[in-house]
Amino acid sequence: MLNYIAQRAALAIAVAFTVSLAAFVLLNIATDPAYAIAGEDADPEVVEQIRQRFGLDRPIWVRYGEWLMNVLRGDFGVSYYWNKPVSALVAERVGTTLTLAFAALFVTIAIAIPLGALAALNRNTWIDRFALWVAVSAQAIPNFWLGLILIILLAVTFPIFPVSGDATWRHFVLPAFVLGASSVPPVMRLMRTGLIEVMGSDYIRTARSKGFRGRSLLTRHALRNALLPVVSVLAVQLGHKVGGSVITESVFAINGLGRLALQSILGADIPTVQMLIFIFALVFVAMNLLADILNAALDPRIRIG
């Protein structure tokens, strides 16, 4: 088991560095950070001054090599755009993003698990079809659209929640719903499939023959096994929430890592983009690893190694 974890951790770091190299090259091909920092109408001489100040006039491989060496020493550099250490910038915002990610995960669980269970227990009824409709809708509706509709409905027309910002818990309600909704379909469908499979299994038949019915059958016997695959998917979804909040944070003007990522990409702030991609890649791989470990821990039939 420890061997497996070590291997996956090494793989995670390798993935993170590979992704960071790709991002570095692509960003340098697609943008000119000096122009991005100076602005549209900047004097060309000012642009040149910025280019020299940040060492952007050096070859790309020299700059990547320098970045890599610094990262190995734990130094992610200084943001071109914000003019402060990238690690400090990330540290300031990670709490906001984690708050949003866990709130969104809570929304996913609160909607998807009951809905999936209801659909499984009422196969081929209107409840099942309603659950399917919810899943398809949540899958099809883009985040930014859902966000704007919720803002218009619940912040403008009926001013229950604030439109944007992240000052209080009320500011997180709408964005958590938007971000959480996108994970409802996979979790709900998995819950439904898992529960249907469990409900048809031999041990449930045995339990029924012993007289277990209704809620006690569901909670004591069926749900525990049906939830096994769901738990691992939720771990992966948490990774999605941390790295996938770019649109949601921008629409709701939440000052987290997602918005920082968007600002950095638009501003060609290469050091910040590099660190964020590095972090996001690590989180994704770590969450996948966590999912595997959880599966093994929860289901003795699964062995890793």
Partner 1 sequence: MTARLHRILGPAVLAAGLAFGPGVAAGPEDDTLRAAMTGEILNLDYLYTTRREYIIMANMTDARLFNMNPETQEAEPSVATSYEFIDDMTVEVKLRDDVRFHDGSLLTAADVAYTYNWVIDDGSESHAQTLISRWLDRAEVIDDQTVHFHLAAVNPLIIRDMAQRVPLRKDGSYHQGDEPDFDAMAIDHIGVGPYRVASFNPGVEAVLERFDDYFGDAPAIENIVVRTIPDVGTQQAEIMAGGINWMFNVPLDVAQNVGMRPDIDHLAGPDLRISFIVLDAAGIVEEDGPLTDVRVRRAMNHAVNRDEIAEFLMGGGASEGIHTPCHPVQFGCVQDVMRYEYDPERGRELLAEAGYPDGFDLDLWAYRERPVSEAVMSDLEAIGININLRYVQLESLNQARAAAEIPAYIGSWGSGGVPDTALIARVHFSDTSDRHLSGDSEVVEWVMAAEQTADQGARAEYYRQAVTRIAEQAYWVPLVSYTANYLVTSDLDFPLDSDGVPRLENSSWR
- Under rule CB under 8 A, how many of the chain's residues touch partner 1? 44
Contact with partner 1 (CB under 8 A) among 32, 197, 292, 299: 32
Site pattern 114..153 for partner 1 (x: CB under 8 A): ------------------------------x---x--xx-
**Nearest CB to partner 1, comparing residues 2 and 167:** 167
Within 174-213, which residues bind partner 1 (CB under 8 A)? none
Helices 223-243 and 184-199, axial angle in degrees (round to 10): 170
Among 58, 129, 170, 213, binds partner 1 (CB under 8 A): 170
Should residue 160 be labelled a site residue for partner 1 when binding is judged by CB under 8 A? yes
Cβ closest to partner 1, residue 42 vs residue 196: 42
From 34-42, 115-123, 134-142, 278-286, give the range in contact with partner 1 by CB under 8 A: 34-42
Q: Which is nearer to partner 1, 170 or 220 (CB)?
A: 170
Residue pair 101/238 in contact (Cβ under 8 Å)? The answer is yes
The residue from 158, 202, 209, 305 that contacts partner 1 (CB under 8 A) is 158
Conformation bin of residue 256: beta by default, left when phi > 0, alpha when psi is -120 to 50: beta
In whole angstroms, give the CA distance from residue 283 to residue 12.
9
Contact (CB, 8 A) for 154 and 233: no
Give CA–CA dist 234/105, Å, rounded. 8
For the record, the structure tokens of 3 come out as: 């061997």
Choosing from 53, 123, 129, 213, the residue that interacts with partner 1 (CB under 8 A) is 53
Q: Smallest distance from the beta carbon of 31 to partner 1, in angstroms?
A: 4
Task: Choose between 18 and 168: whose C-beta lies nearer to partner 1.
Answer: 168
Query: Minimum CB separation from partner 1 for residue 59, in Å?
Result: 15
Pair of tokens at residue 244: 């996938």
Tokens of 130: 């309603």
User: Helices 184-199 & 126-140, crossing angle to 10 degrees?
Assistant: 150
* Residue from the set 161, 172, 177, 278 that interacts with partner 1 by CB under 8 A: 161
CB contact at 8 A, 199 and 207: no
Say how many C-beta atoms besides its own lie within 10 A of residue 280's C-beta: 21
User: What's the rounded Cα separation, in Å, for the pair 276 and 101?
Assistant: 16
User: Phi and psi of 78, rounded to 5°?
Assistant: -115, 135
If binding is defined by CB under 8 A, does position 90 make contact with partner 1?
A: no
- The least distance separating partner 1 from the CB of residue 155, rounded to whole angstroms, comes to 6
Which range, of 11-19, 160-168, 222-230, 236-244, touches partner 1 by CB under 8 A?
160-168
Q: Within positions 225 to 264, which residues make up the interface with partner 1, using CB under 8 A? A: 250-253, 255, 259, 262-263
CB of 110 to partner 1, least distance (A): 18
Report d(CA 112, CA 184) in Å as an integer: 5
Closer Cβ to partner 1, 70 or 83, answer by number? 83
Nearer to partner 1, 48 or 299 (CB): 48
Q: How far apart are CA 109 and CA 181, in angstroms?
A: 10
- Virtual torsion, Cα 11, 264, 168, 138, nearest 10 deg: -70
DSSP 220: I
Residues of the shown chain interacting with partner 1 in the complex, contacts defined by CB under 8 A? 30-32, 35-36, 38-46, 49, 53, 81-83, 144, 148, 151-152, 155-165, 170, 250-253, 255, 259, 262-263, 268
